[in-house]
């Protein structure tokens, strides 16, 4: 998960790779990673809820 998130956010936010990130790149990466983690958490919670419901039916 972490590698996938890093790859996607890097491609989205870093125009010219260099030795450091400027402020806009830092903000973009931080926001991208926050959104990615929020989405991951929602999917995980939904999946776990569904598994619990399925187990309760058995």
- Percent with pLDDT over 70 in the chain: 100
Look at residue 16 and tell me if it is in a domain: no
What's the pLDDT score for residue 44?
Answer: 97
Residue 17 maps to a domain? no
Count Cβ atoms below 10 Å from residue 9 Cβ, excluding itself. Answer: 19
Residue 45: domain span:
1-10+22-57
Structurally, the chain folds into a number of domains equal to 1
- pLDDT tens-digit profile of 30-46? 999 999 999 999 999 99
Structure tokens belonging to residue 36:
């990615």
Q: Show the tokens assigned to 16.
A: 């010219």
Alpha-carbon distance 54 to 39, whole Å?
A: 23
C-alpha to C-alpha distance for 21 and 12, rounded to whole angstroms = 13
Q: Is residue 2 part of a domain?
A: yes
pLDDT-derived band at 3, boundaries 50, 70, 90: very high
Residue 41 lies in a domain: yes
pTM higher than the cut 0.85: no
């Amino acid at each position: 998960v972490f590698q996938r998130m890093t790859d996607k956010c890097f491609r989205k936010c870093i125009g010219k790779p260099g030795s450091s990130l400027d402020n806009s790149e830092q903000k973009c990466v931080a926001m991208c990673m926050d959104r990615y983690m929020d989405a991951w958490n929602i999917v995980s919670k939904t999946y776990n809820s569904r598994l619990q419901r399925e187990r309760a039916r058995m």
